[in-house]
């Protein structure tokens, strides 16, 4: 009798627990469906490079031999099709916009799961690795990681990256894209547009990023202006150190490659000389990278130091902007890059054949040039001092600008010619005739319009070019 009762009890107990279990499973399933629908509606990944690239990566069936990791400099500058021809291997760019090294590390693991990797080329762009570039754990800094994470298949590796890359307070934002963009939920126009875009065959067939070619390569045919100009001074004067996070993940990548018998090449893809000079003492950075590489028995290949006879991309026709090569530049550079490593592999060359010892050495060997113009509005006490030195009746409403150049001029100075054209008019007002003076005043009458700055050599009177920037009272 007792046995009978206990069986009954057991049956009731099991039935009750099964019901509870079914309830929990049903709730989880409904929530998962909810999340999927919301993700579809809220995440704006239509026409993004990362979506195309990750799809291409997952559908790739051929073994990836050479993997390229890094920021946009990789996917804009290196064409895997060109590299395939040179080294006869399967090359793939798994690079993403502003890819931090933590992302490179987890993408390397993701690629290594299903491929027998032979070599990894890791791009080390200084713009992402220095100590004042954040810790990449706050939401604003995580945007670039999210763009890739959202496109990754669910795996332990994805989960590890998610937890590792995010401050604990924001894990829910990394894990649930729908929550990240919940403010869009009541924007019905946005939802309707998303739905329209995502129903299109281009989106469904992964054909919505027209400049994407194949294997993580994206091109642009745009050609950059001759001289670069900026309204904010971004030139860093003091030498900067490698951030601790970057160093930590660089060492992790080195260790991972070492343990898994993957060759690792640390390199830096070229940016314009304007961009290199903006970062201050670039040689300080090169030295840090070389030392770090040497500690682990590696070499650091910086293509910003490449000699002109091997890589001649000084002309603006090779650039789409001051950081990225256009299609023409990428073809040229991919050839140089592939050939260099192929020859190096075969022992036909030494890296010193291709590279200068320092960036300064490169500048010294270059033709004298003005790389760009920096226009800074002065609003601090220097403004008061400057105006005090002038005997102007009234300075009210006047704006003071300082003009400087980034160049490699050795002895000669430069002089500038500055004029403005007010919006809606064609009239030119000269603010400064050819002069070495670096400060000029924008009068109170200037509402909005464009400033034009011409730069030339004081001695030879050779003009380096003309730049324009917009101004506005606001």
Partner 1 sequence: MLFNSFDFIIFFPIVVLVYFLIPPKLQRIWILIASYYFYMSWNPKYIVLILFTTVVTFIGGIGIDILDKDSRRRQICLVCSISANLLMLFFFKYIDMMIGYFNKVLGLFHIGIIEKNFCYALPVGISFFTFQGIGYVIDVYRGDTKAEKSFLSYALFISFFPQLVAGPIERSKNLLRQVNETHRFVYDRVKNGLLLMLWGFFLKLVVADRIAVFVDAVYENPFGNNGFFIVIATVLFGFQIYCDFYGYSTIARGGGKVLGVELMDNFKAPYMSLSVTEFWRRWHISLTGWFRDYLYIPLGGNRKGKLRQYSNLMIVFLASGLWHGASLSFVIWGALNGIYQVIGNISKSVRYRIMKRFQSDEIKWEHRFLCRLCTFCLVDITWLFFRAGSIQNAVAICEQMFGVCNPWIFFSGALYEIGLSRQEFWLMLIAIVIVLWVDSLHYRDIHVLAVLEKRGLLFRTLAVSGLIFAVVMLGVYGESQDVGTFIYFTF
Interface contacts to partner 1, rule CB under 8 A: 19-20, 22-23, 26-27, 30-31, 34, 38, 139, 168-170, 172-173, 178-179, 182-183, 185-188
Phi, psi of 92 (to 5 degrees): -140, 130
Cβ 35 to partner 1 shortest distance, Å: 9
Phi, psi of 306 (to 5 degrees): -70, 140
Cβ 335 to partner 1 shortest distance, Å: 45
Please give the Cα distance from 139 to 289 (Å, whole number): 28
User: For partner 1, which is the closer residue by CB, 22 or 159?
Assistant: 22
Cβ 30 to partner 1 shortest distance, Å: 4
Cβ 10 to partner 1 shortest distance, Å: 17
User: For partner 1, which is the closer residue by CB, 169 or 308?
Assistant: 169
User: For partner 1, which is the closer residue by CB, 37 or 392?
Assistant: 37
Cβ 467 to partner 1 shortest distance, Å: 37
User: For partner 1, which is the closer residue by CB, 2 or 168?
Assistant: 168
Cβ 122 to partner 1 shortest distance, Å: 31
User: For partner 1, which is the closer residue by CB, 142 or 276?
Assistant: 142
Cβ 20 to partner 1 shortest distance, Å: 6
User: For partner 1, which is the closer residue by CB, 176 or 256?
Assistant: 176
Contact 397, 444 (CB under 8 A): yes
Cβ 166 to partner 1 shortest distance, Å: 12
Of 374, 332, 368, the closest CA to residue 236 belongs to 374
User: For partner 1, which is the closer residue by CB, 160 or 182?
Assistant: 182
Please give the Cα distance from 76 to 94 (Å, whole number): 12
Cβ 34 to partner 1 shortest distance, Å: 6
Residue 286's contacts (CB-CB under 8 Å, 6 or more residues apart) are: 300, 302, 305, 358, 359
Question: Which two structure tokens, joined as six digits, stand for 36?
Answer: 């999927």
User: For partner 1, which is the closer residue by CB, 23 or 413?
Assistant: 23
**92: enclosing H helix or E strand:** strand 91-93
Residue 86's contacts (CB-CB under 8 Å, 6 or more residues apart) are: 335, 338, 339, 342
DSSP letters, 19-86, are HHHHHHHHHHHHHHHHHHHHHHHH---TT-HHHHHHHHHHH--SPP-EEEESSHHHHHH--HHHHHHH
User: For partner 1, which is the closer residue by CB, 140 or 297?
Assistant: 140
Task: Give the dihedral of Cα atoms 424, 426, 429, 435; nearest 10 deg.
Answer: 120
3-state secondary structure 343-406: HHHHCCCCHHHHECCCHHHHHHHCCCCEEEEEEEEECCHHHHHHHHHCCCCCCCCCEEEEEEEE
Cβ 186 to partner 1 shortest distance, Å: 4
CB-based burial, 2-41: b 16+ in 10 Å, e otherwise: eeeeeeeeeeeeeeeeeeeeeeeeeeeeeeeeeeeebbeb
- Determine the Cα angle at 223 with ends 219 and 227, to 5°: 135
User: For partner 1, which is the closer residue by CB, 34 or 433?
Assistant: 34
């Amino acid at each position: 009798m007792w046995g009978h009762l206990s069986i009954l009890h057991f049956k009731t107990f099991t039935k009750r627990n099964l019901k509870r279990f079914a309830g929990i499973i049903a709730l989880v399933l409904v929530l998962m469906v909810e999340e999927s629908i919301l993700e579809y509606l809220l995440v704006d990944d239509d026409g993004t490079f990362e979506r195309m690239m990750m799809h291409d990566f997952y559908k790739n069936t051929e073994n990836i031999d050479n993997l390229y990791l890094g920021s946009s400099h990789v996917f804009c500058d290196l064409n895997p099709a060109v590299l395939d021809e040179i080294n006869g291997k399967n090359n793939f760019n798994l690079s993403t916009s502003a890819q931090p090294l933590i992302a490179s590390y987890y993408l390397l693991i993701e690629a290594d799961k299903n491929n027998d990797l032979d070599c990894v080329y890791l791009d080390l762009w200084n713009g992402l690795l220095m100590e004042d570039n954040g810790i990449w754990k706050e939401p604003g800094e995580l945007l670039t990681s999210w763009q890739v994470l959202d496109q990754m298949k669910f795996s332990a590796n994805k989960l590890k990256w998610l937890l590792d890359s995010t401050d604990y307070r924001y894990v829910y934002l990394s894990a649930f894209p729908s929550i990240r963009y919940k403010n869009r939920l009541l924007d019905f126009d946005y939802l309707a547009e998303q739905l329209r875009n995502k129903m299109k065959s281009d989106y469904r067939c992964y054909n919505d990023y027209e400049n994407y070619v194949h294997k993580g390569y994206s091109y642009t045919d745009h050609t950059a202006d001759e001289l670069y100009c900026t309204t904010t001074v971004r030139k860093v004067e003091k030498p900067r150190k490698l951030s601790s996070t970057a160093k930590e993940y660089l060492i992790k990548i080195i260790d991972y490659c070492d343990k898994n018998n993957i060759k690792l090449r640390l390199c830096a893809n070229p940016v314009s000389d304007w961009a290199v000079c903006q970062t201050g003492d670039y040689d300080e950075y090169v030295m840090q990278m070389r030392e770090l590489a040497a500690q682990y028995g590696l070499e650091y290949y910086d293509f910003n130091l490449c000699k002109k006879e091997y890589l001649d991309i000084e002309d603006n026709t090779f650039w789409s902007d001051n950081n990225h090569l256009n299609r023409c530049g990428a073809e040229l550079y991919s050839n140089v890059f592939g050939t260099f490593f192929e020859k190096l592999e075969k022992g036909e060359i030494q890296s010193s054949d291709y590279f200068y010892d320092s960036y300064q050495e490169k500048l010294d060997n270059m033709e004298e040039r003005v790389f760009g113009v920096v226009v800074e509005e002065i609003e601090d006490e220097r403004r008061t001092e400057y105006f005090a030195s002038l005997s102007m009746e009234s300075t009210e409403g006047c704006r003071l600008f300082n003009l400087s150049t980034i160049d490699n001029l050795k002895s000669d100075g430069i002089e500038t010619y500055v004029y403005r054209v007010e919006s809606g008019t064609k009239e030119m007002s000269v603010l400064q005739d050819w002069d070495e003076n670096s400060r000029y005043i924008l009068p109170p009458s200037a509402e909005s319009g464009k400033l034009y700055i011409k730069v030339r050599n004081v001695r030879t009177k050779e003009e380096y070019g003309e730049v324009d920037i917009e101004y506005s009272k606001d």
